[in-house]
Chains A and B, each alone.
Chain A
Amino acid sequence: NAGVTQTPKFRVLKTGQSMTLLCAQDMNHEYMYWYRQDPGMGLRLIHYSVGEGTTAKGEVPDGYNVSRLKKQNFLLGLESAAPSQTSVYFCASSPFQQAGTEAFFGQGTRLTVV
């Protein structure tokens, strides 16, 4: 009963380094999202995908890229990490019929950029 799995759970990066966060869901959901959660800012949408091979920008897309080559996976990339990208990153997925109400979240990835 995995649901949404995020890899890695923790990571420390140096400024300028790159990394990829992996999200995998086993619920056959069409929609997938990447959010970041910062103290005092709440959850903010970075990028999202409404199906395999599609991606779109959310509220705070700058500095991030995404890809969805397979329906079950949604990758978030940081090309050149900055301290402002220190955050907790959550991946979520939704079935088509409930995409406006229920999102299933992963456990989060805690990223620190020093």
Chain B
Amino acid sequence: QKEVEQDPGPLSVPEGAIVSLNCTYSNSAFQYFMWYRQYSRKGPELLMYTYSSGNKEDGRFTAQVDKSSKYISLFIRDSQPSDSATYLCAMSGWGGGGADGLTFGKGTHLIIQP
């Protein structure tokens, strides 16, 4: 079993809908939780990150972390066709220094239908 599980989709929703993307994990040492967005044939880009449990909001995007359940979510409000991409969750046990890379989920392919 991989450390991070993420449903690959595809997830197809109509424009304007609220989108919910999720990951579960097994490593209790993870402290930082990230969401990356990857457009087709491009490299991933960081959307937002959260430290430990709680919520974080950035415009139409809200990230939630529930460490007790080892479950993280990304919500997208008022979804737009330009949000169509693959969304990857990523995790690490520290914020800076001592790097050994991030642990990624497989990514969820999201399609917003106009």
- A residues apposed to B, CB below 8 Å: 4, 31, 33, 35, 40-45, 48, 50, 56, 58-59, 90, 92, 94, 96-103, 105-108
Distance (Å) between the CB of A31 and the closest chain B CB? 5
Interface of chain B residues 33 through 82 with chain A (CB within 8 A): 34, 41-46, 49
- B residues apposed to A, CB below 8 Å: 6, 8, 32, 34, 41-46, 49, 88, 92-102, 104-107
Chain B contact surface mostly: loop
CB distance A41 to B43 under 8 Å? no
A-B contact pairs, 19 of them (CB 8 A): A33-B101, A40-B8, A40-B106, A42-B88, A42-B104, A42-B106, A43-B107, A45-B101, A56-B100, A96-B96, A97-B95, A99-B96, A100-B32, A100-B93, A101-B34, A101-B92, A105-B43, A107-B41, A107-B42
CB distance A101 to B95 under 8 Å? yes
CB distance A103 to B46 under 8 Å? yes
A17 to B41, CA, bound (A): 25
Q: Which chain A residues lie closer than 8 Å to B49 at the CB level?
A: 101-102
- Given contacts A42-B88, A42-B106, 10 further A-B pairs with CB under 8 A are A33-B101, A40-B106, A42-B107, A44-B104, A45-B100, A90-B44, A97-B96, A101-B96, A102-B46, A105-B45
A107 CB contact (under 8 Å) in B8, B43, B106: B43
In chain B, what residue has the closest Cβ to A49?
B99
CB distance B99 to A108 under 8 Å? no
A108 CB contact (under 8 Å) in B6, B42, B97: B42
